[in-house]
Chains A and B, each alone.
Chain A
Amino acid sequence: MARYECDVLIVGGGITAAMVSQKLAELRPTWKIIVVEAGKRLFDADKRFEYRQRSLDYGENQWPGDFVADQAARGVISRTMAVGGSALHWGGVCNRFSEEDLRLKSMYNLAVDWPLEWKELEKFYCEAERRIGVSGEPSPLAEDARSEPYPMPAMAKTFNLIQLENWAEKSGIPFWTTPQAKNTVEGYGGRSRCRRCNTCEICPTGARYSPDFTFKQLLDAKKIELHDQTLVRRLVLDPQTSRIASATAAKEDGTDDNVEYRARTFVVASGYCWASHLLLLSANARFPNGLANSSDHVGRYMNGHLAYSTTIDLDLKIYPGMNEQHSLISRQFFRCRTDRPYVRHDLRVWENGGGRGPQLRDASGKLLLGDALVADWRTRTSRGTARVRGYYAVEPDKDSRLTLDPATKNRWGDPLPVIQHRIDQSTQLRASATREHFQKLFADLAKANDGRMGNVGPLNYQDHPGGGCRMGSDPATSVVTSEGRTHDHENLWVVGSPTLPTGGCTNGTLTFVALALRSAAAVGR
């Protein structure tokens, strides 16, 4: 049985854990920080060209072994469990939420307000952008004002995006490029400039930020200890107080099922799924519903956002593959007038080559070989296609939940989580109006350049999920304070995505990181 002592134990090895570790190591250089992650460390940047090529050629995993086979949750949208977490694979999109997301109750009488001011969060957005390394161009909308410029200039628009921007803006909606955690200058964060490899989910050059870089730097500088392939199974309460005394863990390789970590402070940074799961698993006689759960809010208000998307066929020449992950965004619909039906969403536009591939037969079923196949293909590629999508805000029901499934257990016999998202009644009531809004919006966009709109389809899961340990000022209706400290245990913190009361209407990672950095500042005080 191994025993470790430290000042701060960080449970989880994803992007928020990386940021909290980095910031705490700066604020408290004498503190001993241990990061424990259930998955592997994949510090093999030298192999990423090979992984990328095998992924392109054979459809193999770009991050081989980035999961734990028997540590699975029903309803989770990414099985990644490795040092770096889901931000190994992420596309690097770094959109901010907007002030409206923090004021849903007071502005629209929906859900709840977040217990912090926009100006306060905005400071940490800037810090998150600096630490991750975000390239972007400022929004032209006054409501999106920034207190600091982006750390790097925006990613260059491709020929395709220039064409698409000219088209999309004919609708009267302003578009600009999406901010991204990708280097547009050489050497930012010790990483290379983007080389436009078109495979951002596995960036072979390291131009796209992933947390393994931060962990590697911290380890090289001996700022932290990283215990990977070690699953924290329980947090253990001090017998006399409501403080957390230790965490117990098991080595994935079976060499030690009783690892003990004693720490002054415990930071749960294991994402929207495994944070609530650990707290629920850690139930004891004094907290029979789980740690930090005297309010019965752990695992509740699981949130995210939904989306509608379509493709629009245009009289434009588009060359699919120039930089497929790069996109245009409009934040015009982040705001919704209070005298109009409520709908808030982002709006993104990408180049699109889907559905325009080679065909073996013509419409009559005749075989197409050689030059005949190419001639047919060229007739279908003479017009371009845009992919258009809007993530829209939905509010979670209290019974949008993560629960323990006693029927599904890991190798240690721990019940695994089940996540069932449920939208609240007001979201349900406006569902058809939301769909009509997108139908009209996409149709309006399509009007220019002889556009022909395809089917408008919904996303069948809530993306960029969060929740389960929502923040709030009232301990009766929330799990943590706005800084992430649990109401029930003074030395237990939950950071990042689990703390979001609502899921916003755009990619969440930058918000998760900003909130985690704010938590780190408080932990370090």
Chain B
Amino acid sequence: MRRRTLLQSVAAVFAVQPFARLRLQAQTTNSAELSPANIATLRAIAEVVLPASIGASGRDDAVRSFVTWVRNYKEGADRGHGYGSSTLTAASGPSPAARYPAQFAALDKSAEALGIASFAGLPPDRRLPIVESALNTPQPVTRLPARPTGANLVADFMGFYFNSAAGYDLAYNAAIGRDSCRGLDGSERAPDAWRPGL
């Protein structure tokens, strides 16, 4: 299979219609728990899409947090009611992770076509076009989701990291610690400068 055709097939899986996704989910055994192979793939994605400045430990933290998020997702959870509205927010839907197995498989398939057994086995520079394809075709992903939706594994993972407190700290180059309980003392000063491992 030619490379272009392969990338198109990867993209097709990332953009597959909801009902087809459901069929693909049915082929998986445990969508809530990412497998060691999935985690290896996520690490390989992280090397391409996350900033180099966070280093290997920062990437590992991001992957670990994403895996934990997937594991602890609850379907049908009470999502409350927004202020200013008289309606209840719909309960949480199926786990986004139910839509990931086919996307992991598509990444590996693209690697196989290049003669490598898995996406994680490719060197980073050869992963890049596959990741770009996943984000570009057939319809370009335009926004990073605030929380994973299942629609696009790569975008979900990127959104998960960059929208996190850690992502904001990096962007602002400061140890803001948005989601931490930090005490009032010292809050009149600018946050300390960001450094890897914060």
Instruction: Mark A residues whose CB is within 8 Å of B.
Output: 54, 56-67, 69, 72-80, 89, 155-159, 162, 184, 193-199, 204-205, 317, 319-323, 353, 357-361, 365, 367, 369-371, 373-374, 377-378, 381, 460-461, 463
Extra A-B contacts (19), CB below 8 Å, given A156-B185, A196-B183 = A54-B77, A58-B73, A58-B74, A73-B86, A77-B83, A79-B85, A89-B83, A159-B188, A195-B183, A322-B176, A353-B168, A357-B163, A358-B162, A358-B167, A359-B144, A360-B135, A367-B135, A370-B52, A377-B171
Structural contact, B78 and A321, CB atoms closer than 8 A? no
Q: Which of B136, B168, B181 contacts A195 (CB 8 A)?
A: B181
Structural contact, B155 and A360, CB atoms closer than 8 A? yes
Given known A-B contacts A319-B174, A319-B190, A369 and B49 have beta carbons under 8 A apart: yes
B184, CB-defined interface residue at 8 Å: yes
B78-122 with Cβ < 8 A to chain A: 78-81, 83-89, 92
Instruction: Mark B residues whose CB is within 8 Å of A.
Output: 48-53, 69, 72-74, 77-81, 83-89, 92, 128, 131-132, 135-136, 140-144, 147, 155, 158-159, 162-163, 165, 167-168, 170-174, 176-185, 187-191
Structural contact, B171 and A60, CB atoms closer than 8 A? no
Given known A-B contacts A196-B184, A365-B140, A60 and B51 have beta carbons under 8 A apart: no
**Chain B nearest Cβ from A273, distance in angstroms:** 10
Residues of B within 8 A of A162 (CB): 188
Bound complex: CA A317 to CA B147 (Å) = 27
Structural contact, A367 and B136, CB atoms closer than 8 A? yes
Structural contact, A370 and B184, CB atoms closer than 8 A? no
Residues of A within 8 A of B183 (CB): 195-196
Residues of B within 8 A of A159 (CB): 187-191
Structural contact, B79 and A77, CB atoms closer than 8 A? no
Given known A-B contacts A156-B187, A321-B168, A367-B136, A60 and B74 have beta carbons under 8 A apart: yes
Q: Which of A58, A79, A155, A317 contacts B190 (CB 8 A)?
A: A317
Residues of A within 8 A of B84 (CB): 77, 460-461, 463
**Chain B nearest Cβ from A187, distance in angstroms:** 15
Structural contact, A60 and B79, CB atoms closer than 8 A? yes
Q: Which of B142, B158, B191 contacts A319 (CB 8 A)?
A: B191
**Chain A nearest Cβ from B139, distance in angstroms:** 12
Structural contact, A198 and B179, CB atoms closer than 8 A? yes
Structural contact, B53 and A371, CB atoms closer than 8 A? yes
Bound complex: CA A76 to CA B174 (Å) = 41
Bound complex: CA A510 to CA B118 (Å) = 62
- Identity of the chain B residue whose Cβ is nearest the Cβ of A377 in the assembled complex: B171
Q: Which of B79, B143, B170, B188 contacts A360 (CB 8 A)?
A: B143
**Chain B nearest Cβ from A147, distance in angstroms:** 28
Given known A-B contacts A73-B86, A196-B181, A59 and B79 have beta carbons under 8 A apart: yes
Minimum-distance CB pairs A-B, first 9: A321-B178, A61-B80, A358-B162, A79-B81, A195-B181, A197-B181, A61-B78, A377-B171, A158-B187
Residues of A within 8 A of B78 (CB): 60-61, 64-65
Q: Which of B50, B87, B187, B190 contacts A196 (CB 8 A)?
A: B187
Q: Which of A184, A198, A369 contacts B178 (CB 8 A)?
A: A198
Structural contact, B181 and A63, CB atoms closer than 8 A? no
Structural contact, A77 and B163, CB atoms closer than 8 A? no
- Identity of the chain B residue whose Cβ is nearest the Cβ of A49 in the assembled complex: B181
User: Could you jot down 20 A-B contacts, CB within 8 Å?
Assistant: A57-B72, A58-B72, A58-B147, A61-B80, A61-B81, A67-B81, A75-B86, A78-B81, A79-B87, A80-B81, A162-B188, A196-B181, A196-B182, A196-B183, A204-B181, A317-B190, A359-B144, A360-B144, A370-B49, A370-B52
Q: Which of B87, B131, B184 contacts A369 (CB 8 A)?
A: B131
Structural contact, A155 and B173, CB atoms closer than 8 A? no
Structural contact, A77 and B86, CB atoms closer than 8 A? yes
Bound complex: CA A76 to CA B165 (Å) = 33
Structural contact, B181 and A358, CB atoms closer than 8 A? no
Structural contact, A56 and B182, CB atoms closer than 8 A? no
Given known A-B contacts A357-B163, A374-B51, A378-B171, A58 and B92 have beta carbons under 8 A apart: yes
Q: Which of A69, A205, A374 contacts B171 (CB 8 A)?
A: A374
Residues of B within 8 A of A353 (CB): 168
- Identity of the chain B residue whose Cβ is nearest the Cβ of A195 in the assembled complex: B181
Residues of B within 8 A of A373 (CB): 51, 158, 162
Bound complex: CA A76 to CA B81 (Å) = 11
Structural contact, B77 and A58, CB atoms closer than 8 A? yes
**Chain B nearest Cβ from A277, distance in angstroms:** 14
